[in-house]
Chain A
Amino acid sequence: DGGITQSPKYLFRKEGQNVTLSCEQNLNHDAMYWYRQDPGQGLRLIYYSQIVNDFQKGDIAEGYSVSREKKESFPLTVTSAQKNPTAFYLCASRIGGAGGEQYFGPGTRLTVT
């Protein structure tokens, strides 16, 4: 069964704790993305990676970190520096090059109290 998996679906953390969200794809896609979704604000890009061992900041990278050690995996860490971390987090991937559609995973809803 191919696709993008994100785990867990729901995640709860106390304020001040770092938390890592998992994203795995078996589509052999080169590029991977992390978005944050808040009500009424659409999808905002946090980080993206075009190839292994390389990644770039998106529009709202502050308080987040990523790694891309394997082509299949692009974990996102929400650090304690993120001021408003409660949100729905979406991972996406796309085959490399000029073309290719972007496909999304099922998302992880993070609640920090």
Chain B
Amino acid sequence: QQQVKQSPQSLIVQKGGIPIINCAYENTAFDYFPWYQQFPGKGPALLIAIRPDVSEKKEGRFTISFNKSAKQFSLHIMDSQPGDSATYFCAARSSNTGKLIFGQGTTLQVKP
């Protein structure tokens, strides 16, 4: 079964720090890698996404780094703020079925 492994499970940083969340996948038949942000009791919201032909994508304070040969991708949050405290999910979309396979999630706490 296709899998996406996400780490760490939880992360605590000080305001202004740069939390990094890592994901690794086991199947090469993925064509799109989104990250979602979820606040407690809410649905996940699309944050940023990357395609495998790009090594890095930046949107505001959020950056995705993608290493196709290592089958790994990561999310960096620059100048993190307490309002960034949330659960973050990486995902990979199957090019065959269009389904998203999600990582297990990372709960981020940014301390003031």
Contacts and interface: CB of A to CB of B under 8 A. Distances in A.
Interface stretch (A12-20, A74-82, A98-106): A98-106
A112 interface: no
B102 A90 contact: no
A42 B44 contact: no
Given A40-B9, A48-B99, A107 B105 contact: no
Nearest to A107: B43
B43 A43 contact: no
Interface residues of B, number: 20
A42 B42 contact: no
Contacts of B100: 45, 102
A22 to B, nearest CB: 14
Interface residues of A, number: 25
A42 B9 CA distance: 11
A6 B46 CA distance: 18
A41 interface: yes
8 contacts: A92-B43, A94-B98, A98-B98, A102-B46, A103-B46, A104-B45, A106-B43, A109-B41
Which 9 A/B pairs are nearest by Cβ-Cβ distance? A104-B43, A42-B104, A43-B102, A42-B102, A106-B43, A107-B43, A104-B44, A42-B105, A105-B43
Interface of A: 4, 6, 31, 40-45, 48, 50, 58-59, 90, 92, 94, 98, 101-107, 109
Interface of B: 1, 6, 9, 34, 36, 41-46, 49, 89, 98-100, 102-105
